[in-house]
Structure 1
C-alpha cells in the first residue's frame, strides 16, 4: 500500500453536500485569513474522487468553505488546499480511522459541553447567591433608611413642640414685662425720692431742691409724657427748643426714640435719651407747666 500523504487539490474542483450556511461567516472569514497568512491549512481535509478531476468532501466541510473564502479574498494564493484523497486500496482503512477520530472528537466535545454546563450552573448559582445577597442588603438598607426617616421626623416634631413652648414662654414674659415695667419704674422713682428726703440737708444733691416741684409734677405728669409720645413732631420740636434746655441732637433723638417705642415714664425718657439728665428733665417738666 502506498504511504499516506496529503495532496494539493484545486479548491474549485471540490464540492460539499453540507450547506455553507451551516457555518458562521465571521468564523469562515477568520480562518480564511489565517490560511492566507500561514500559506496553507494545517489540518488537511478528506475527499473522495467522483470524477477525472472532481472531488467531494468526506470530512472537513468547515475547512473547505474557509479555503473557498480564502480563494475569494485572494484568488492566486487560495487556489489549492491540502487533502487526503480516498483511493480504493486505502478507503476502508481511512474511513475506519476517521470513524474513531470522530468518535473521540464527539466524546471530547461532550466532555467540554458537560464542563461548560457545570461551570455555567456554578456561575449561575454564584450569581443567584450574589443577587440574593444584594437583594437582602438592599432590603436592609431600605429598612435602615425607613427607620432613620422616622427618627428624623420624630426629632423634627419634638423640636417644633419645644420651639412653640419657648415662643409661648417668651410671649408670656414680654406681656408680664409690659404690664409690670411702668409700675416698677414708678416704684423705683418713689423709693429714690424717699431716699433723697431722708438724707441730711448738707448731703442732698441739687435734685432735692426740686423734690417738691417733682412731687407736684408727678401727680399729673401725663401732659408732658403724652406730648413726648403723641404731639406733632414739628410742634414738639418747637416746644422743646423753646425751653432752651436741650440741644438739637438730643431733641432729634427724642423724636427718633418715640417712633421706636413709646416712653412709659420720665425715668424711661432719661434712660433712653443720651445727653438728657435728671436735672434737665425736672426743669423741662417745670417749664412745661405753662403748656398745661
Structure 2
C-alpha cells in the first residue's frame, strides 16, 4: 500500500460538522494563514475522502483547511489547488489508525508539558503575532506602493523629456525654430558664418512647395551649395564634414 498526495481544487473540498470550531480558533487560523501566505504553501497536508469523481469531504486537517482559505485572502497568488491525502476503501483503516496515534501523541505532549500555557496567554501570544504580521505586511505594501510610484514618476518624467531627433529628420524640420537653432549650433564647427548660411539655405529650400523631404544625407550635402559667379557652386559642407556632424549629433 502506498500513499501519495494529490492536488485538488480547493473549492472541491466540503466541510461537514465537526468538533473543530473556526470561530473559537480564529487566532490560530490567522497565525497559520500568515505563515502559509509567506511560505506560499502548506506543510501539513489535510486528509479527505472522495465523494464523487471531483468532490471531496474533509476528514482531518481542519485547522490547515481554514488557514489555507484565510491565506488565499491574504496572498491572492496562492494556488487554487491544495495537496491532500485521499482516504479510500483500501487505505481508510490505516489512515484512521495513524490519525488516532498522532492525536494520542499530541494529547500526551499536552498533559506532560512542564510549562503549561493557559488558553488565554496562548491566545494573547497568537494575537500579538498576528498583529506583528499584519504590521509587517502593511509596511511591505507601503514600500511596494512607494516603489511603484517612483517607477510611474520616472516614466512620466521620461515621457515629458524632449525625444532626441535624428539629424536627417532635423534637416526636414528645419523650419521649426528650436530645431533650426540646434542644427545651427551643431554646424558651428564649420564656422559661425557657414552654419548660419546652411540653415538659411535649408529653410529656403524647405519653403519651396516643390521640395520633397530629404531621403539621405547625400541629398542634404548636394542641396547645401552656394552659387558662384565664375565657377561651379561651392559646397557648404563636404561628405566628410557631414559624417563628422552625424558623429557630433548626439553629444
TM interval, short-chain normalised: 0.3 to 0.5
TM-score scaled by length of structure 2: 0.42
TM-score scaled by length of structure 1: 0.36
**Bigger Cα Rg:** 1
Whose relative contact order is higher, 1 or 2, with alpha carbons under 8 Å and at least 6 apart? 2
Structure holding more helix per residue: 1
